[in-house]
Structure 1
């Protein structure tokens, strides 16, 4: 879609060239949502692609994903063999309701900033202890857990003029054994439920719930729970009002599938008694 209200497109090469963020400004990365509907309030786009951020950087600390990294680039990444959680990357990339054309322009940062319950990059970052690196207008930066960054459907924690720079996934999370469950109402439909379980160092059990809830939810256990303990925690920490309800799935179906998948993951990890 043409954005006929845009008067200027700015293409900074370094951070200093971005300048003050003003009313009517908008960040442009992949643009897959930006150009999908009218944006009458916008007058200037700031193109982040010209900043030349490296899409991915892997080192002894873990994996840093640039906000402008495309889904295609992330899916093509080959993690080291020691990163046993590495397959989650491809699984979450393939949870997109998108064609290969979208994959080549849609960005990881854009998916996080949209903060849709079904955002699979949110699911990936939630499961792997993702930390959002945010550039502030004063030239500094701050860091937020993905659980603090995604506030609700299409609501994130960015303040006026702030920019998501990168997402950092720590090595400890990348070396965990994981389990993935996803459901949608049609074979190629948008995720209605997406759960990821993980075994932490020391025997702890971690369960992240996304897509079925309005924001990502994490449950931590000091050991793999039995069936009743798991069900009790799900009921206590995800009230009925937190389950999402739209054309891609009713809230009662999402709740039911969340409990079903949680129990499957618990069983896969050899949890206690049913």
Structure 2
């Protein structure tokens, strides 16, 4: 790691989150520290100093802070979902989604939910997790609204619409992904995950998450496409038509971790498996 930067500031108030020229936000830093410093970046603003509660559950649902580490996500909400059939059944999806990242325990202690979402990488499994849970991202807009110190001046966007392409995220310069909210109605519903990679410990190349909602199963595809795609599936024929449309529109993402053709075939298989599990077949 060789970070050629001039300053590091620790943010402790909303006012500290106003970026100065050349600054970018720092969450866990596990990706930023592994890559060359982007051109023009001369300073970091560390969001972990904000002291946000990693997660909480109340009558409105689950809230996960942008600075919640993946380890905290598993030991908190993930543990709540470990009891099949309980009031937090849907959160059984947390641990396998984190495992899909094939990260070390050291990285898990530092990498954050907000960082994974904000990167917008196809293999970033926090997207598949929170889209399946019908979550909304709360984003602090840039600058400090007059008279505000507690995070007002925010907008909300469905996580399903947050990532719009490979590495392309609906975050304007200076905006902060404050938290992700999962509605209470979702928490007791059944969920499922299926994934594929070229090797047993390789990067996820196709991932399907799903939830058995009140209107029937919802299936979400990530990793094999540049941005999450979801379907309210009625039957296997509908799943096939959906995958066929992805074929016809060239939706498949391709890199060294999998060809378009292979990802398409794996996605089709995984989507059918997820549908079967959600309908209890």
TM-score by length of 2: 0.90
Pick the aligned partner of 1:25 from 23, 40, 43: 23
- CA offset digits 1:42-76 (Å, max 9, x no partner): 11111111110111111111111111110111011
Q: Describe the SS at the equivalent of 1:42.
A: coil
Pick the aligned partner of 1:113 from 110, 115, 118: 118
1:187 maps onto 2:200 in alignment: yes
| Structure 1 segment 66-85 matched on structure 2, within 5 A | 66-77=65-76, 78-79=79-80, 81-85=86-90
The structural deviation recorded for 1:96 is: 1.0
The structural deviation recorded for 1:174 is: 1.9
Equivalent pairs counted in the alignment come to 266
Distance 2:135 2:247 in 1: 21
TM-score by length of 1: 0.92
- CA offset digits 1:219-261 (Å, max 9, x no partner): 124xx31x22221122225645211101111111111111111
Task: Give ranges in structure 2 of 5+ residues lacking alignment.
Answer: 145-152
Distance 1:270 1:15 in 2: 45
1:172 maps onto 2:185 in alignment: yes
**Equivalent position of 1:54 in the other structure:** 53
The farther-off stretch of 144-153 and 34-43 is: 34-43
Contact 2:11 2:49 in 1 (8 A): yes
**Equivalent position of 2:3 in the other structure:** 3
The farther-off stretch of 230-239 and 128-137 is: 230-239
Change (3 A) 1:190 1:146: same
Distance 1:219 1:26 in 2: 35
Q: Describe the SS at the equivalent of 2:250.
A: helix
The structural deviation recorded for 1:186 is: 0.7
Distance 2:47 2:253 in 1: 32
Task: Give ranges in structure 1 of 5+ residues lacking alignment.
Answer: none
The structural deviation recorded for 1:141 is: 0.4
The structural deviation recorded for 1:170 is: 1.2
Contact 2:24 2:43 in 1 (8 A): yes
1:148 maps onto 2:161 in alignment: yes
The structural deviation recorded for 1:185 is: 0.7
Distance 2:92 2:271 in 1: 19
